[in-house]
Structure 1
Amino acid sequence: MPVAAGQRVLASTLNRLQPAVYSAVGTGNVTGAATNAAVPGATVTLTTATAGARYTVACVWDVTLTGATTSLLTVRLSVDGATVAPLGTFAASASGNRSTIPQQYSGTLASAGSHTFTLVGSPAASQTIQGTNTSLIVTIYEVV
């Protein structure tokens, strides 16, 4: 979409240049043992108009230990069904220990169209991801 010199341009005609922000909060827990299980409700589905759109994601998982374990809980972001780095981790030794795991992601969406961002986790037995306190914010920057 070229813009001519001296052309009057309104923000409404440049929607692709305006960052779009989406958010979601989990609605249910994920209890272990599980592998890359989706946190219920912690999903954003959106549509981009162009290939090459950039995304940033800020997210938080709330996790708790409900019994004895020496295993590591891991959490991450899934984009269109593929998990992406970096990984968030939680280890605790006493029942009731709890933590909030923040993480940030950025990347490029190769194609235009529908895209899904989901928070997933792999709790071990006696570990729980508290879904109602787990959330993500996705910001999309369209490329013209």
Structure 2
Amino acid sequence: MPILAGQIVTAGQLNRMQPRVEAAGASAALTATTTYELIPGCSIPLTTQAPGATYSAIAVFDCSVTTAHATNLMVGRLVVDGSPQNGLAIHAMDTLDRDTVTMVWSGTLPAAGSHTLHLEGVINAAGGAGLFHINSRFTVTLTEVV
């Protein structure tokens, strides 16, 4: 909704015009399995005042391979309100190494109210082993419409 000339603007409208930044970091390492699991501590609850808020999320996955596998991958993803988002952070497991892998997402929260964004990790198939370490973290910038 635009602000019209001569309109009285409320504090709530002005507050929603400012982007909000929230961040979360891992509170413990996640030993990856073949099932997506929440990286401990990498969850951000948000409350929006109006429908149509947009978000931009930047994640860094601290991945280490503890047992190499020629073809398997460590994969990190963003989940918004229970729905996995398109785009994956991918780390090959063919070498015993440790890397930070990044990914960026953006989207719209169609309804006002409570929302949760969190990071999950997985190994894409049986074989190999790895950890998503405590340096995994992400930042979400939320912008609401007036």
The answer, yes or no, to whether TM exceeds 0.5 is yes
Q: Does 1:128 align with 2:122?
A: no
Q: Structure 2: give runs of 5+ residues left out of the alignment.
A: none
Q: How far did residue 81 of structure 1 move?
A: 1.0
Cα distance, 1:81–1:91 mapped onto 2, change above 3 Å:
same
Aligned partner letter, 1:89: I
The aligned counterpart of 1:24 is 24
Change (3 A) 1:64 1:41: same
Matches of 1:83 and 1:12 in 2, distance apart? 31
1:98-127 Cα shifts (integer Å, max 9, x gaps): 111111000000100011010101136411
**Partner secondary structure for residue 15 of structure 2:** helix
Q: Sequence identity, in percent?
A: 39
- Could you tell me which residue of structure 1 aligns to residue 91 of structure 2? 90
The alignment status of 1:66 with 2:66, answered yes or no, reads yes
Contact 2:74 2:93 in 1 (8 A): no
Distance 1:141 1:117, change over 3 A: same
Report the alpha carbon displacement of residue 92 of structure 1 after superposing the two structures with TM.
3.1
CA distance in 1, matches of 2:45, 2:31: 24
**Which amino acid in structure 2 is aligned with residue 72 of structure 1?**
L
Aligned residue for 2:88, secondary structure, equals strand
The equivalent residue for 1:33 is: 33
What is the alpha-carbon distance in structure 1 between the residues aligned to residue 67 and residue 13 of structure 2? 55
**Deviations 1:31-77 (CA, angstroms, capped at 9, x unpaired):** 13242210000110010001110000011000001123231111110
Per-residue deviation at 1:5?
2.0
Q: Is the 8 A contact 1:34 1:121 kept in 2?
A: no
